[in-house]
Amino acid sequence: MQLHIFSLADEVLGHLADYFVQVARQAIAARGKFTVALSGGSSPKKLYELLASPAYRDQVNWQQVFFFFGDERYVPHTDAESNYRMARLTLLDPLLIAPEQVFAIDTILSPAEAAANYTQTIERFFGDESVQLDLVLLGLGDNSHTASLFPHTPVLHDTSVGAREVFLEDKQVYRITLTAPLLNQARAVAFLVYGPDKAAAVQRVLTEAPNIEEFPAQLIVPTTGELHWFLDESAASKLPK
Ligand SMILES: O=C1O[C@H](COP(=O)(O)O)[C@@H](O)[C@H](O)[C@H]1O
């Protein structure tokens, strides 16, 4: 695992954007395509805007990039909470990414059907190859969840490689998430975490004894791929010096 800690959030975003470009170029040179699972929530918005900005937009052959989602809120794609909507507004539309390159999670189906459908979509995309994303981008919630692997949910024990529905009792809402085994098959996983509100979760996930029920992000340990954590100093402030 490699920790990358920078003073300011903007520096973190710049270094992660550089890493994204590096992994994308390597994947395209080696296999002719780059597959990435996007994270949702608020933290990655600025990363996506940066990647679509004049400084980065010409650094990747976007026609060879295929976009998946690590998780989705079970809301219409037009809803302000939708991870797909956020990615579309900040990254996919500004870069004029063709719809055929974007694999959104269908939220019109029932949650269970949406998860099964997304599993099939991923399997169909990879065909005879193993399901191995080139890069998985992840965030960290202040309750130590990542993707939609939430504390004390059955999906934490799911050993399948695919997508699953998750019901959040406290909020009475569904989410769809990729399973930890699928995420861990990636060639590279990069967490993006910044801001003081995340400091306690970062400390728990990275330094507490294994306890996936409480700290689901501890499930993310790529089998053979790289694991990177990109943090600002405030998010890293509770880590041992
Ligand atoms: O709900 C979600 O939360 C996590 C963390 O999001 P952030 O806004 O606190 O950065 C995110 O990684 C996940 O994709 C999203 O659905």
Question: Measured from the CB, is residue 177 less than 6 Å from ligand 1?
Answer: no
The pair of three-digit structure tokens given for residue 29, joined into one six-digit string: 């040179």
The per-residue pLDDT for 201 is 98
Q: What's the pLDDT tens digit per position in 139-160?
A: 999 999 999 999 999 999 999 9
From atom 2 of ligand 1, which residue's Cα is the shortest distance away?
Answer: 41
Question: Measured from the CB, is residue 225 less than 6 Å from ligand 1?
Answer: no
Other beta carbons within 10 Å of 156: 18
Q: Measured in Å, how far apart are the chain's first and last C-alpha atoms?
A: 17
Question: Measured from the CB, is residue 39 less than 6 Å from ligand 1?
Answer: yes
What b/e sequence results for 62-100 when a residue is b if at least 16 CB atoms lie within 10 Å of its CB, and e otherwise? bebbbbbbbbbbbbeeeeeebbbbbbbebbbeebebeee
Question: Where do the structural domains in the chain lie, given as residue ranges?
Answer: 2-232
Whether the predicted interface score ipTM is above 0.85: yes
Residue among 12, 13, 42, 43 whose CB has most ligand 1 atoms within 8 A, to mutate: 43
Residue 205 Cα to ligand 1 midpoint, Å, equals 15
Q: What's the pLDDT tens digit per position in 63-89?
A: 999 999 999 999 999 999 999 999 999
- Looking at domain 2-232, its CATH architecture is 3-Layer(aba) Sandwich (3.40)
Mean pLDDT confidence for 125-136: 97
Residue among 12, 13, 38, 39 whose CB has most ligand 1 atoms within 8 A, to mutate: 39
Which of 26, 50, 23, 39 minimizes the C-alpha distance to 72? 39
Q: What's the pLDDT tens digit per position in 43-54?
A: 999 999 999 999
Question: Quick check: 241 pLDDT over 90?
Answer: no
Residue 115 Cα to ligand 1 midpoint, Å, equals 18
